[in-house]
């Protein structure tokens, strides 16, 4: 399993345990060797994943710089005096840049999310 997710590892390990302990009826059709091998493989994949450092997100300093740069770039693209809506659009561009850096999709409609 390449680049496993936490949920995928949990599912793989749980399946192997259920087969090994006969909680899954399919385990009764497998040889003891196959059951042990499946459990050992799942344990090895879990152990390897736990040995990796957790991924680190961008630092606060980097997020601040990205935001400031995106706002400045949006303001620089305007000609003439800035209106309040120009400043709001620049701030929105900065927030979208930060969200993109964090891997979070931005709501591009400008409407509130109904999720929460």
pLDDT averaged per 10 residues, the chain (length 116):
69 87 86 89 85 79 83 79 81 84 64 47
Predicted local confidence at residue 50, as pLDDT: 81
- Of 55, 54, 41, 45, which is closest to residue 2 (Cα–Cα)? 45
Q: What is the pLDDT of residue 114?
A: 47
pLDDT value of position 4: 63
Q: Do residues 4 and 42 make contact, with C-beta atoms less than 8 angstroms apart?
A: no
pLDDT (0 to 100) of residue 102:
79
Separation between Cα atoms, residue 92 and residue 107, nearest integer Å: 10
């Amino acid at each position: 399993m390449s680049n496993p997710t936490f949920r995928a590892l949990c599912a793989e390990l749980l399946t192997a345990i259920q087969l090994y302990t006969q909680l899954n009826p399919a385990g009764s059709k497998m040889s003891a060797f196959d059951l042990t091998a499946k459990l050992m493989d799942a344990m090895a994949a879990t152990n390897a994943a736990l040995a990796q450092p957790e991924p680190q997100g961008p630092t606060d300093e980097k997020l601040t710089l990205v935001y400031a740069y995106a706002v400045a770039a949006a303001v620089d693209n305007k000609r003439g005096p800035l209106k309040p809506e120009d400043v709001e659009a620049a701030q929105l561009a900065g927030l979208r840049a930060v969200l993109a850096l964090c891997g979070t999709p931005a709501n591009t409609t400008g409407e509130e999310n109904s999720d929460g």
